[in-house]
Chain A
Amino acid sequence: MFAKVLIANRGEIAVRLIRGCHELGVRAVAVYSEADATAPHVLLADEAVCVGPAPSAQSYLDIDRIVDAARHTGADAVHPGYGFLAENAAFARAVEEAGLTFVGPSAEAIAAMGDKVAARRRVAAAGVPVVPAVENVGDSAELAHQVESVGYPLLIKAAAGGGGKGMRIVRVGSELESAFAAARREAQSAFGDGRLFVERYLERPRHVEVQVFADQRGRIVHLGERECSIQRRHQKIIEETPSPALTPELRERMTTAALAAARSVDYANAGTVEFLLDQDGRFYFLEMNTRLQVEHPVTELVTGIDLVHAQLRVAAGERLWLRQEEIVARGHAIECRVYAEDPAHNFLPSPGVVRHLREPDGPGVRVDSGILPGYAVPLHYDPLLAKVSVWAETREAARRRMRNALSNYVTLGCTTSIPFLLDVLDHPAFAGGDTHTHFIEEHFPQWRGREAHRLIAAIAAAIDSTRPTRAATGGETAVAASPWTSLGHWRLGQG
């Protein structure tokens, strides 16, 4: 096993990885930007290195500075987490060239799956079903003609991307040109690569993905599926396992396809093969994420396998000890992502200062958190604050446990998606397992939030205001709530 691992990430995932290292007796080195000097992952690590100013391009995305930090601190491996450099083949290569181990697949496998166009071709050749698509879409002049074979509705995607950036749905030909321009801009700024491709857009599909895990000698297993259909802005907010839609027979076919996709690039370490599952039970390869997934906790909860430990062990050269027939999923797990965003205003990021934080606990409840009381959520990064995961014997028991856990998750000072998540959990369609990727647009087109307890809250505020101001929670910040307050007042004109 390694003696020291550098964690090339921030937020809740860096915290989770540092914990994993410590549990294995490995020392952890954090990197941080100037905006994150007192962030939770920095406080938890054994050593911490500042790698640059707040913008991620000059810190968390700066390959040279991160590799230097690993070298100077004497780390023998680098774990990239997810996002940032996790799927950057040049980073994996730079780490290996510095004589260190990259905790993840080979640079070749990352590159092969990172180019979404090439990946699609490669897995199709391996017998994995793919959605009808057109690659390398060109200029707007030829655009309408080029996409004819795909048909509407269609989806524009970034060839280099993931995570919803650079994605646009086009339902009629007249929207094609402006959607294309916006997608290209977003892809260019997010990935430095404006190449796009177009594919047929499936109506009300489920997002179902398979966790695979391999050692460096080609031994590979799957750890079952996760369903991540509840998405906003094409990003997942609720994930669960098992999927309510899968029969044992369908699970067998999907996991077999996932293993074939992974083998097509000689995959090593943890990876996820994503599929869309249509209403008729047909599934199509979406992409392979060559890293640990945000939603990995639900798989850990039902299988009992610690994916971070497993990642570190195979990266250190250990043979795969897991046997497929011994991997058994038990019960049901659900994860909810808690974002600093305002679900009543189109899920816009809503940074602020965490004035007060109370996290849920109790049996079967797990919180992966990247925040602390007093923490100012930086504007520069993804607004994911924490993940709440629950395990229970059945889906319904897990749903109720999650409902209870989220009602006991309180942040003040920073608007979060929690009230919205509660309403999704309560929705009969969610309770019935009738989930698909358009769930939010379909069931919550104009969500404004419940205000059932306003009188109680006002009484509490009135009583509290008769007490002297407390220094601990006082003070003003420039960004906190004022812009939204302004926007809220501006909305008055609706009359």
Chain B
Amino acid sequence: MRIVFRHRQDQLSLDVHPEAGKYRVVVDGDEHIAEAHYLDDATLLLLVDGRRYRVDIARQGKEHLVAVDGEVYTFAPESAAAAHHVAALASPEVIAPMPGKVLQVLVHAGDHVDTGDGLLILEAMKMENRLLAEAAGSVDEVRVAAGDMVEGGQVLAVLRYDEEAAS
């Protein structure tokens, strides 16, 4: 069975073959032998190539949340994530990370911004958060004004990256 995950920018492809209580897992041409013992629904003892790991796991919608030794990973099944990914690249959007109030809009449509330039100041959870341009480009559209209350995930502005930055 082939399982494809997206983790951040990377795509991970795993071939999982259950065999006699164990799993043969092939990743990037390397074969691993894994054994999984569930301690409860969210905690498992995982043996991979003879090494033991205590792994915590949960699902959030379609995503798999996994913790190993203080590190936390979010894996999205490829099909859903791929669509989102392509859309995001074609149209870089400045998205409210959480509900809050727009205190100040620092740019206008048509402005050119450099990496790290401030775009908007959003007040959320009692702190002022400055949303920054992550790449050089121009401001295509500003959809909010100072004083607006916004929802988490709402598109606040739309950028267009310079060509070399988007490549």
Contacts and interface: CB of A to CB of B under 8 A. Distances in A.
Interface residues of B, number: 77
Contacts, number: 230
A418 B75 CA distance: 19
Interface in B49-92: 53, 55-61, 63-77, 84-85, 88-89, 92
A33 to B, nearest CB: 15
Contacts of B93: 486, 490
A185 B103 contact: yes
Given A355-B65, A486-B153, A349 B128 contact: no
A472 interface: yes
A19 B36 CA distance: 39
A422 B134 CA distance: 27
Given A456-B48, A457-B66, A494-B115, A487 B71 contact: no
Contact of A458 (B5, B72, B123): B5
A138 to B, nearest CB: 22
A5 B107 CA distance: 51
A464 B77 CA distance: 12
Interface stretch (A70-78, A202-210, A257-265, A477-485): A477-485
Given A459-B25, A478-B153, A349 B127 contact: yes
A457 B68 contact: yes
B71 A473 contact: no
A418 B134 contact: no
Nearest to B161: A493
Contacts of B7: 454, 458
A491 interface: yes
B142 interface: no
Interface in A185-216: 185-186, 189-190
Contact of B98 (A349, A456, A458): A349
A484 B96 CA distance: 9
A489 B85 contact: yes
B12 interface: yes
Contacts of A466: 1, 3, 16, 18
A452 interface: yes
B135 to A, nearest CB: 4
Given A462-B16, A490-B94, A495 B164 contact: yes
A465 B126 contact: no
B98 A473 contact: no
A381 B127 CA distance: 11
Contacts of A459: 14, 23, 25, 27, 32, 34, 46, 48
Nearest to B87: A489
Contact of B71 (A346, A381, A451, A492): A451
A351 interface: yes
B71 A351 contact: no
A217 interface: no
A350 B166 CA distance: 27
A380 B152 CA distance: 13
Contacts of A353: 60
B98 A479 contact: yes
A453 B65 CA distance: 13
Interface string B15-58: 01010000101010000101010000111101010000101111
Given A490-B134, A494-B134, A461 B66 contact: yes
B66 to A, nearest CB: 4
> Which interface residue of A345, A350, A490 has the most chain B CB atoms within 10 A?
A490
Nearest to B162: A493
Nearest to B12: A458
Interface in B137-166: 137, 152-153, 161, 164-166
A413 B75 CA distance: 12
A233 interface: yes
Contacts of A460: 36, 44, 46, 53, 55, 57, 66, 68
Given A349-B127, A459-B34, A464-B64, A453 B72 contact: no
A403 to B, nearest CB: 9
Interface string B94-109: 1111110001000000
A172 interface: no
A363 interface: no
A469 interface: yes
A463 interface: yes
A470 B164 CA distance: 45
Nearest to A419: B70
Contacts of B68: 453, 456-457, 460
A358 interface: yes
B155 to A, nearest CB: 9
B58 A356 contact: yes
Interface string A327-340: 00000000000000
A483 B152 contact: yes
Contacts of A382: 125-126
A406 interface: yes
A382 B128 CA distance: 13
The 3 closest A-B pairs by CB, nearest first: A493-B135, A489-B88, A355-B58
Given A358-B56, A413-B58, A459-B27, 16 more contacts: A182-B121, A186-B128, A189-B126, A356-B58, A356-B65, A358-B43, A382-B125, A415-B72, A451-B71, A455-B27, A458-B5, A465-B77, A479-B153, A486-B84, A495-B135, A495-B166
Interface of B: 1, 3, 5, 7-9, 12, 14, 16, 18, 23, 25, 27, 32, 34, 36, 41-44, 46, 48, 53, 55-61, 63-77, 84-85, 88-89, 92-99, 103, 115, 121, 123-129, 134-135, 137, 152-153, 161, 164-167
9 contacts: A412-B66, A412-B72, A451-B73, A459-B14, A461-B5, A470-B59, A483-B97, A485-B84, A490-B93
